[in-house]
Amino acid sequence: MLGLGLLVGTLLVGNAFCGWICPFGAIQDALSWVRRRLHLPTVTVPARLDALLRWGRFAVLGVVVFMSYTTARLWFAGYDRYVTLFGLHWLFGAESADFWIALVVLALVVAGSLVIDRFWCRYLCPLGAALSVASVFSLVRIRRSGPTCTDCTLCDKPCPVGIQPSKAAPLVAADCIGCMDCVATCPVRGALTVGARVPLPLPGRPKEPEPDRAEGRQTGHEGKRK
């Protein structure tokens, strides 16, 4: 039921789960804040390498699905950084050999997130890979208005997952997590907007009938005669 709800939500509002609900996403945002406060260096991944590394999410997803099918259990659960961090097993010592592998995975992800915004989300998250596919069909997306946009690219800078809203044509990439930072940063009103891809028949105030122009002109003439 949770998976179905997540799928329906993604088809409605895109990858907003990653931007507003995912606890590990919040941890990564906190690590980025720490980096800025401590003036630590930020690693900028070249565009071509970044595009290649983003396929890592799908590679991880494929491995997890294949291994889970062949082993008849949720593979990677023992190494999951969610379980490692929020399960608090690391506070009470190692329970198995898998614990140390999980601890290494968590340490690598934390280290990566300290120098690259949303490192796990960009390059490794299998759930993010699946949701990005569903987001292609989402009803609500961020849209760029070409005639209104001034191509200042200011909206690209705050994006935590490194997509480029300034190049949306007109919808932003499916990797968008819906954090709205680009919309808030955009200095031009109407250049970036959030809305449905198709008009929705939402209820609203009924339109008042427009007065008949011919009747208005006739009334005006009668007024002048008086």
Band (pLDDT 50/70/90 cuts) for residue 207 is very low
Q: Is the peptide bond before 170 cis (omega within 30 degrees of 0)?
A: yes
**What's the mean per-residue pLDDT of the chain?**
84
Across 56-65, average pLDDT = 94
Domains along the sequence of the chain with CATH? 21-134 (no CATH), 139-196 (3.30.70.20)
Compute the distance between CA of residue 20 and CA of residue 25 in angstroms, rounded to an integer.
8
pLDDT for residue 221 is more than 60: no
| 148 pLDDT higher than 70 | yes
User: Model pTM?
Assistant: 0.79
Q: Exposed, middle or buried by CB within 10 Å (0-12, 13-18, 19+), for 6?
A: middle
Q: pLDDT of 161-203, one tens digit each?
A: 999 999 999 999 999 999 999 999 999 999 999 988 765 554 4
pLDDT range class, residue 94, cuts 50, 70, 90: low
| Confidence check: pLDDT of 46 > 70 | yes
Average pLDDT over every residue of 59-87: 81
Q: How many CA atoms lie within 13 A of 170 on its CB side?
A: 18
Spatial contact of 126 and 60, defined as CB atoms under 8 Å apart: yes
**Averaged pLDDT for residues 27-55:** 94
pLDDT digits (tens, 9 = 90+) for 7-17: 999 999 999 99
Q: Cβ(77)–Cβ(83) under 8 Å?
A: yes
